[in-house]
């Protein structure tokens, strides 16, 4: 079974910086990681390949630096890595991102039986890209997958959706977006990382390789624009009280009483 896995290199969220002029993320100087749920997707792909045969292609759209994420994916067991990078791809929303990824997947030979993605990223958290790839490639999709069984030419998957546990039969080829419950990503031995960073080849496809034009990618190909970035106003009162544990526990009791969670102590006569 041939599997394509889409991954994204994301900034380690607590250390992000924003370019306020261009309103985009400054990636340089911020530690970058593979989006955690994409690691789950990659692990699932490698695991399925080991059981079913075939090969795993990992794809990522991003700046040249995203190559690191792809090398890490090779070290985690992927067979082939493709970096989709082009100055024109910058500033893409999910519509434009899914367009590039879908186009790249459609160029894979043979066409994969399964496209795996993480359900969301930690930086933008939209969860849009997997369903949008599925729509563009006209494939069926299931998001939030926490169990996958491979049958002859279909998958049986499970997921929790709005308080329901669904069991779904989905024909191949399919797009599955995975939840963190599917599997636990392996620890990558240092030797594998070293090898991936010294010996392995990364394929690079730009706009022309994908037969795309500047109007349909990046900022120009995006339907949404970020008009403004701002920090949320503090929502809470943020009153800080200090004192002995007994005093503070007393404050807690009063608050619990005021909220009606515990009964007020009966007044002593």
Binder of another protein out of 21, 198, 201, 224 (CB under 8 A): 224
31: left (phi over 0), alpha (psi -120 to 50) or beta: beta
The residue among 22 and 165 lying less far from another protein, judged by its C-beta, is 165
Whole-angstrom distance between the N-terminal and C-terminal Cα of the chain?
78
Of 74, 129, 55, whose CA–CA distance to 99 is shortest? 129
Q: Is 241 in the site for another protein (CB under 8 A)?
A: yes
Q: Is 161 in the site for another protein (CB under 8 A)?
A: yes
Binder of another protein out of 87, 107, 165, 213 (CB under 8 A): 165
The helix (H) or strand (E) run that includes residue 70 is helix 67-75
On whether the CB atoms of residues 31 and 12 are closer than 8 A, the answer is yes
Q: Is 43 helix (H, G, I), strand (E, B) or coil?
A: helix
Chain mean position to CA 90: 18
Name 145's bridge partners. Answer: 159, 178
The helix (H) or strand (E) run that includes residue 253 is helix 245-258
Q: Is 164 in the site for another protein (CB under 8 A)?
A: yes
Binder of another protein out of 93, 104, 196, 218 (CB under 8 A): 93
Tokens of 54: 């075939």
| Site track 97-136 with another protein (rule: CB under 8 A), x = hit | -x-----------------------xxxxxxxxxxx-xxx
**Closest separation in Å from C-beta 14 to another protein:** 6
Q: Is 206 in the site for another protein (CB under 8 A)?
A: no
**Closest separation in Å from C-beta 208 to another protein:** 23
Q: Is 185 in the site for another protein (CB under 8 A)?
A: no
The residue among 168 and 188 lying less far from another protein, judged by its C-beta, is 168
**Closest separation in Å from C-beta 65 to another protein:** 18
Q: How far apart are CA 94 and CA 126, in angstroms?
A: 8
The helix (H) or strand (E) run that includes residue 68 is helix 67-75
Q: Is 95 in the site for another protein (CB under 8 A)?
A: yes
Tokens of 60: 């990522």
Of 223, 197, 200, 254, whose CA–CA distance to 99 is shortest? 223
Q: Is 256 in the site for another protein (CB under 8 A)?
A: yes
Q: Is 62 in the site for another protein (CB under 8 A)?
A: no
Q: Is 191 in the site for another protein (CB under 8 A)?
A: no
Q: Is 190 in the site for another protein (CB under 8 A)?
A: no
Of the candidate spans 13-21, 44-52, 59-67, 78-86, the one that interacts with another protein by CB under 8 A turns out to be: 13-21
Of the candidate spans 41-49, 108-116, 196-204, 222-230, the one that interacts with another protein by CB under 8 A turns out to be: 222-230
152's CB contacts (< 8 A; 6+ apart) are none
Of the candidate spans 59-67, 104-112, 164-172, 188-196, the one that interacts with another protein by CB under 8 A turns out to be: 164-172
Rounded to 5 degrees, what are φ and ψ at 97?
-65, -45
């Amino acid at each position: 079974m041939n599997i394509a896995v889409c991954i994204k290199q994301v900034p380690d969220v607590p250390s992000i910086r924003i370019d306020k002029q261009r309103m985009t993320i400054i990636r340089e100087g911020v530690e970058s990681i593979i989006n955690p749920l994409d690691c789950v997707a990659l692990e699932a792909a490698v695991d399925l390949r080991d059981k079913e045969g075939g090969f795993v292609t990992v794809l990522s759209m991003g700046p040249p630096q995203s190559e690191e994420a792809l090398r890490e994916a090779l070290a985690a067991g992927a067979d082939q890595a493709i970096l989709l990078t082009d100055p024109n791809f910058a500033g893409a929303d999910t519509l434009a991102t899914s367009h590039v990824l879908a186009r790249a997947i459609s160029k894979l030979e043979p066409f994969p039986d399964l496209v795996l993605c993480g359900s969301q990223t930690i930086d933008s958290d939209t969860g849009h890209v997997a369903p949008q790839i599925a729509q563009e490639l006209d494939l069926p999709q299931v998001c939030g997958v926490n169990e996958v069984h491979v049958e002859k030419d279909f998958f049986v998957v499970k997921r929790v959706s709005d308080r329901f546990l669904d069991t779904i039969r989905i024909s191949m080829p399919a797009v599955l977006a995975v939840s963190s419950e599917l599997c636990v990503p392996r620890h990558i031995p240092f030797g594998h990382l070293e090898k991936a960073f010294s010996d392995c080849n990364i394929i690079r496809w730009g706009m022309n390789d994908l037969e795309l034009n500047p109007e349909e990618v990046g900022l120009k190909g995006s339907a949404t624009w970020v008009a403004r970035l701002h920090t949320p106003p503090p929502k809470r009162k943020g009153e800080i009280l200090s004192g002995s544990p007994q005093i503070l526990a007393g404050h807690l009791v009063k608050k619990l009483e005021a909220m009606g969670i515990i009964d007020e102590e009966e007044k002593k006569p």
